[in-house]
Amino acid sequence: MMLEVRDLTAGYGHLRVLRGLSLDVPEGGVVALLGGNGAGKTTTMHVLAGLLAASGGHIRFRGESIRGLTSNRIFARGMTLVAQSRQLFPEMTVRENLEMGALVARTRREIAKLTDEVFDLFPRLLERVDNRAASLSGGEQQMLATGRALMSRPSLLLLDEPTTGLAPIIVHELGRILRRLNEGGLTILVVEQNVQMALKLADTVYVMRNGAVVMHAPASEVQDSAEMFRSYLS
């Protein structure tokens, strides 16, 4: 198992958001985390990436506990978060944003190689290479945020609502690229509001409510019992 989360609790001050969350992400798998607003999905991602401290429970990444580690140490172990609303460096160009993600690379040649790999995956970014990140469309910004995360060669990619505000054709394109990345061996944990996209992409689906998992099942089974599934999400 690449990631094991057990009885995770976390919050902001006195506000408890996560109340005993448990989930598993197998190596090479795609797991989707679904739930309504305020269910605790983004908080889960922040705790996993080390941006927010957990108050209880266990997080094991490749068999080792990572609870309490700082975000840069978690990142160095191969877990990279693409945060909600993309969080780019808006005044930097596409290339500069990508270079910011290349902390594993120490030489210009390594950076150039990683950048070329991202451009292979997202040719649209190559066309906009000298454009400011703030001038990109929503879809291009998501491609850039994902590309920047890939510059660190992660083994587990955490995606927080990657399709929010994107046109259906871009969602489809992004889904295709994420599948391609997964086929290449990348493990993905994705938080998604777009249920259709999540079911198409994921092997396993977890549904959250009030900071805990209320249901989990293989995506294929969920598609067969869509009615019951929607009742969990409502």
Partner 1 sequence: MERLPWLRRLFPFVLILALLAASQVMDNYLQYIVNLVLIYVIIGIGLNFLLGFAGQFAFAHAALMGIGAYTAALLTTRVGLSFWLALPLSGVVAAVIGAGAALPAMRMRRVYLALVTLAFAQLIIWVLINWNAVTLGTDGVDLRAPYLFGWRMRGDRNTFYIVLPVTVFLYWLARRVLESHVGRAFIAIRENEIVARSNGISVAWTKTLVFALSAFYAGIGGGLYALALGFIVPDSFGLGQLTLHFSIVVLGGMLSLYGAVIGAVVLTTLPEFLRDVQALQEIIYGLVLMVVILVMPQGIVGPLKRFGILPREVLARNWRRLERRG
Sites of contact with partner 1 (CB under 8 A):
49-51, 70-72, 75-76, 80-81, 83, 87-89, 91-93, 96, 99-103, 105-106, 108, 130, 132, 148-149, 152
| Minimum CB–partner distance for residue 232 and partner 1 (Å) | 29
How many residues are there in the chain? 234
Pairing state of beta strands 56-61 and 3-12? antiparallel
Question: In this complex, which beta carbon is closest to partner 1, that of residue 93 or of residue 210?
Answer: 93
Say if residues 213 and 20 touch (Cβ distance below 8 Å). Answer: no
| Minimum CB–partner distance for residue 99 and partner 1 (Å) | 6
Question: In this complex, which beta carbon is closest to partner 1, that of residue 45 or of residue 219?
Answer: 45
Question: In this complex, which beta carbon is closest to partner 1, that of residue 14 or of residue 106?
Answer: 106
| Minimum CB–partner distance for residue 214 and partner 1 (Å) | 28
| Minimum CB–partner distance for residue 218 and partner 1 (Å) | 30
Return the amino acid letter for 45: M
- The CB density around residue 124, as the number of other CB atoms within 10 Å, is 16
Question: In this complex, which beta carbon is closest to partner 1, that of residue 17 or of residue 83?
Answer: 83
- The CB density around residue 4, as the number of other CB atoms within 10 Å, is 17
**Residue pointed to by tokens 């890939």:** 150
| Minimum CB–partner distance for residue 165 and partner 1 (Å) | 19
Q: Which two tokens stand for residue 135?
A: 């001038």
Question: In this complex, which beta carbon is closest to partner 1, that of residue 87 or of residue 220?
Answer: 87
Pairing state of beta strands 30-35 and 79-82? unpaired
Between CA 66 and CA 54 the distance in angstroms is 11
